[in-house]
Amino acid sequence: MTDVVSVDPRTGAAVETVARETTAAGTAALCATAAEAAPGLEALGRSGRADLLDTLADALQAHRDEVVAVADRETALGPARLNGELTRTCYQLRLFGEVLREGSYLEATIDHAADTPMGPRPDLRRMLVPIGPVAVFGASNFPLAFSVPGGDTVSALAAGSPVVVKAHESHPATSALCALILAGAATKAGAPEGTVGIVYGRAAGVALVTDSAIRAVGFTGSLGGGQALMDAIASRPDPIPFFGELAGLNPVVVTPAAAAERGAAIGAELAGSFTLGGGQFCTKPGVTLVPTGPDGDALVAAAADAVRGSAAPVLLNGGIAASYAEIAARLSALPSVGVVASGAEPGGDGFGGAPLLLTAPAGAVPDGLDQECFGPLGVILRYDDRTDLLAALAGLPSSLTATVQRGTGETELPAAVVRALRDRAGRILFDAYPTGVAVSWAQHHGGPWPSTNTQHTSVGASAIRRFLRPVTWQNAPAELLPAELTDDRAAIPRRVDGVLVTGA
């Protein structure tokens, strides 16, 4: 059995052995326990699970200093960012408690027996039920909000589906600590054993998604990692839904009016956005389209100044650092690419990466420049006119986000940009930067391939729907119906005979 080791990215040194890689038998046992936990977790009901989520949030809050310290030592993301991430994680737990208490998410629908043009229709009642145990694969770059206590785990538990998490190799100690906190708090809240489990190692990850007890997979990570899991799932006798959040290029368009009004400010803000968190966000603005001419030049100059003044961030792990160095060198050497600025070179033995700003003409984007790159790399594509801009946008892959920086009151060109990008992005921003992803009812974090492989989101209230499935009861006696579908229960929003009725 192989040891699972926690590495300090600031030094590159192994700091502690966290666990052994989980064996096939160990994974199977955890999945079986999760399956046994499912009826009890569902039986807690909406109110009981809302209380459970609050208890989990309280427990994370109570261990805040310890969690942030371990996560910082493993990720080098810094206490400020990690404290914010823990706050976000707790907020997300409580938001899903609200979602449960409100109850719309069940999509409770009642069609009483009736005569129709097709003849008599039986009594039909539909709502969503838990899908069953869910495997969660967290991301390297959010050790809390997209990892063990992250959006996938929270939305699955809210749905009533137990969770088995595959710990990310990049932060196993944080994963182990969070799993311990969550499992302990879940027990305290009356949830069954097996509500939250954790496995370690890549082999265990494959065993997890092919275990017959697992009914869905939530994944945040690379296209390659996601593809490997999708292939494993396709080999099951009963393939299960896979919800992957995979990649994002996240184009930003700066209109000529915006560049004229505030080019220098945009340049500095843009550099701040693509170097934030070491440039390791799935929402990092990977390419920015900037007009040629003096206003655009001022923007580029300001971004270059910001990059030149930047320290080399510590990247999350050796793999990301090596990949970043390779990509940065390869793209810098492309014939039509200009190296505008670079930041400080990393020193020491840790996993650093120098910030870098590249540019190329929008009319001739070389292969590779339009791919997601994890790390503090920004690319500015210069366009001559509207035609040039729209042609360049048409050549970009789909993304999680698309952003327009527009002039005051400007609508015509922004509308054309939105027409060009709406079908290829999950979130459209105006005069903002995509790196912040607020947790709220109206948020959507997704987009066509390669952003995600489904229409579904891993952020926002509708994330819960991924871990539920519809069931319709036909001619059911009242005593065999779920409480939310009986005639006398109207405390939640329901659609009754076609009419949406809000709760009491």
The only residue of 107, 193, 261, 297 in contact with its own copies, by rule CB under 8 A? 107
Separation between Cα atoms, residue 90 and residue 145, nearest integer Å: 9
Stretch that binds its own copies, among 97-105, 255-263, 271-279, 388-396 (CB under 8 A): 97-105
Stretch that binds its own copies, among 4-12, 312-320, 325-333, 450-458 (CB under 8 A): 450-458
CA distances from 167 to 63, 140, 200, 203 (A): 19, 10, 5, 12
Dihedral angle sign, alpha carbons of residues 187, 189, 190, 196: negative
- Check if the beta carbon of residue 271 is closer than 8 Å to that of residue 340: no
The only residue of 9, 194, 291, 450 in contact with its own copies, by rule CB under 8 A? 450
The only residue of 49, 63, 73, 88 in contact with its own copies, by rule CB under 8 A? 88
Q: Which tokens belong to 445?
A: 């974090």
Pairing assessment for the beta strands 13-20 and 119-121 based on DSSP bridges: unpaired
Stretch that binds its own copies, among 164-172, 195-203, 384-392, 426-434 (CB under 8 A): 426-434
Catalytic residue among 169, 245, 372, 484: 245
Q: Does 83 help bind its own copies (rule: CB under 8 A)?
A: no
64-75 and 45-62 helices, crossing angle to 10°: 70
Question: Per CB under 8 A, which of residues 204..233 are in contact with its own copies?
Answer: 215, 230
Side-chain-side CA neighbours of residue 11 (13 Å): 9
Question: Per CB under 8 A, which of residues 115..134 are in contact with its own copies?
Answer: 116-118, 121-122, 124-126, 129, 131-132
Question: Per CB under 8 A, which of residues 239..258 are in contact with its own copies?
Answer: 239-241
The only residue of 29, 449, 489, 490 in contact with its own copies, by rule CB under 8 A? 449
The only residue of 415, 483, 487, 491 in contact with its own copies, by rule CB under 8 A? 415
Minimum CB distance to its own copies, residue 480 (Å): 6
**Binding letters toward its own copies, positions 42-81, x by CB under 8 A:** ----------------------------------------
Q: Does 331 help bind its own copies (rule: CB under 8 A)?
A: no
* HEC per residue, 189-242: CCCCCCCEEEECCHHHHHHHHCCCCCCEEEEECCHHHHHHHHHHHHCCCCCCCE
Contacts of 143 (CB under 8 A, 6+ apart): 71, 74, 75, 77, 82, 85, 168, 170, 171, 174, 175
Biggest distance spanned by C-alpha atoms of the chain: 78
The only residue of 154, 446, 458, 464 in contact with its own copies, by rule CB under 8 A? 446
282 is catalytic: yes
Question: Per CB under 8 A, which of residues 456..495 are in contact with its own copies?
Answer: 457, 460, 462, 468-477, 479-480, 493, 495
Q: Does 348 help bind its own copies (rule: CB under 8 A)?
A: no
Select 476 or 490, whichever has its Cβ closest to its own copies.
Answer: 476
**Binding letters toward its own copies, positions 362-401, x by CB under 8 A:** -----------------------------------xx---
- Check if the beta carbon of residue 445 is closer than 8 Å to that of residue 152: no
Side-chain-side CA neighbours of residue 387 (13 Å): 0
Select 11 or 104, whichever has its Cβ closest to its own copies.
Answer: 104
Q: Which tokens belong to 241?
A: 């839904």
